[in-house]
Amino acid sequence: MERTTKTKVVTEDKYSQLVALGIGLAVAYAITCIVFIAYAIFITYTEMTTDSLPLVVTITSIVSALIAGYDAAKAAHKRGWLWGLVAGLLYAVILVIIGYWIGQDFAFDLRTITTLLLSIAGGGLGGVIGINFSKRQ
């Protein structure tokens, strides 16, 4: 009887962990959309050029992946860094897929690889922060 109870708890933990990962990714993409829309508005209605676009994309990706990793790791009992890396990786892969799907001149170049790696690192850092905050509560 105890064995099924432990299995049920583990299953519920995995389910809640996946829900937390999904919520973290949703929040990260909401932030990304808000920043990208605001940047597009600034470019449209001001004298601002698109020269800073790579920097904005990189910083937004790092911060959003960090938040996704933080949210994913808050629900974890251990290995927050791993959940953060997974969140950062998923965030970056989805971002690349969307970029490929939308952009006609999309290229998988050094900038894309750098953004992928920085997003994964940001997610891992967010996971470390998230697991440490969840242990304090």
For every residue of 44-72, DSSP letters joined together read HHSS--GGGHHHHHHHHHHHHHHHHHHHH
Please check the confidence at residue 9 and state whether its pLDDT lies above 80: no
Is the entire prediction scored with pTM above 0.85? no
Instruction: Tell me how far apart the alpha carbons of residues 28 and 26 are, in angstroms, rounded to a whole number.
Output: 5
Question: pLDDT by residue (tens digit) across 55-102?
Answer: 998 999 999 999 999 999 988 878 889 999 999 999 999 988 888 888
In sequence order, the 6+-apart residues with CB closer than 8 A to the CB of 49 are: 43
- When divided into structural domains, the chain yields a total of 1
Q: What is the mean pLDDT of residues 9-22?
A: 74
Range of the domain at 12: 2-136
